[in-house]
Amino acid sequence: MKLIRKLFWPFTLFLLLFSVTACSGGEPQSPDQIASVPFGEPDFPNYSGSWVIDTADVIDPSTEQEVDAILQQTHDEGYANTAIVVMRGVNEPINYITQLGRHLQLGETEGPRRDNGLIYLVVVDKPQDERVFFSIGTGLPELSNLDAFDVKDYAHQWANEGDWNETVRQIATRSDQYLREVYGDLDVSADEVGTVGDTAEGEDEITLTPEQQRVVFWVVVGIVVIWLAIFVILLAIGETDAAFEWLMLLVRIALMFLAGGGGGKKGSGSFGGRSG
């Protein structure tokens, strides 16, 4: 019994110190750091100053400028942060696009237009009628899936023909049209409209990156294995009471950490599963 009491606090202190160190990560994590690339998918492209991100290199510069101007006006007038991403090699676009929207930090971080991100993904090497996808931010509840599906289906007329310039042009034009029909004239001042990647003041909660989550998982697994090994050793040497007290300490510590868990950071790029 004395051995159990001697080992309890060193193990508890170790777990507390580890949790603080692993969770701190130096600085609070921004949304692009916590978005996770789905397994087997290409890396996320980054925002480079244009609302059109063409990693497939199929959009003419003049078309990109034209479409970017449309989407910039949609942004400036407070309707939505709309991005059109053109890529190759995306296997599961519906899951990928939601994470991509978070990575790009689409959507205002505060104010009446919070989380008004809207993203369209054009995958040029998909079969016909499976080339255009969308994901709607949680701050655009009035924009229905039917509206976005209409934009998607309309754009497929050109996507099926491989006319990528007209595809992105029609996405931008019809998306802007639907947003104006749904929300009408918005009275939004320049101060209420931020830029892509802005972070709201005061949102300094700590969120683990995927890499930190993996480290935490395997360290916890290692600790549990060591703890159980000691439990087995105590049983083997006939210290049954000590073994079960040792096991109960593990259960109590686990319950203590579960009870103290917190939520993640909510910033820009909040997408709520409305994708297609």
Q: What percent of the chain has pLDDT over 90?
A: 37
Q: What percent of the chain has pLDDT over 70?
A: 68
Q: Predicted confidence band at 11 (pLDDT cuts at 50, 70, 90)?
A: low
Q: What is the pLDDT of residue 269?
A: 52
Sign, Cα dihedral of 204, 210, 212, 213: positive
Span 38-59, mean pLDDT? 93
> What is the CA 98 to chain-centroid distance, rounded?
7
At 142-172, the pLDDT tens digits run 887 788 889 999 999 999 999 999 999 999 9
Q: How many angstroms separate the first and last alpha carbons of the chain?
A: 60
Q: What is the pLDDT of residue 205?
A: 41
Q: Predicted confidence band at 2 (pLDDT cuts at 50, 70, 90)?
A: low
- Separation between Cα atoms, residue 245 and residue 50, nearest integer Å: 61
210 pLDDT higher than 60: no
134 pLDDT higher than 50: yes
Q: What is the pLDDT of residue 57?
A: 96
- Separation between Cα atoms, residue 216 and residue 211, nearest integer Å: 9
Of residues 126 and 229, the one with the higher pLDDT is 126
27 pLDDT higher than 80: no
* pTM, two decimal places: 0.61
Q: What is the pLDDT of residue 231?
A: 77
At 79-118, the pLDDT tens digits run 999 999 999 999 999 889 988 988 998 888 877 778 889 9
Of residues 238 and 30, the one with the higher pLDDT is 238
Q: What is the pLDDT of residue 70?
A: 96
The CB-side HSE value for 53 (13 A sphere, CA atoms) comes to: 20
Q: How far are the Cα atoms of 22, 217, 218 from residue 214, in angstroms, in the given order?
A: 11, 5, 6
- 3.20.20.70, 3.40.50.300, 2.60.120.260, 3.10.310.50: which CATH number matches 33-203+270-275? 3.10.310.50
- Separation between Cα atoms, residue 180 and residue 186, nearest integer Å: 9
Q: Is residue 122 within 8 Å of residue 84, measured between CB atoms? A: yes
Of residues 234 and 124, the one with the higher pLDDT is 124
Host H or E run for residue 134: strand 132-137
Q: What is the pLDDT of residue 126?
A: 94
Average pLDDT value for the chain = 76
Span 249-268, mean pLDDT? 51
Residue 86: how many CB atoms within 10 A of its CB?
23
Q: Predicted confidence band at 14 (pLDDT cuts at 50, 70, 90)?
A: low
Q: What is the pLDDT of residue 267?
A: 37
For the record, the structure tokens of 4 come out as 């159990």
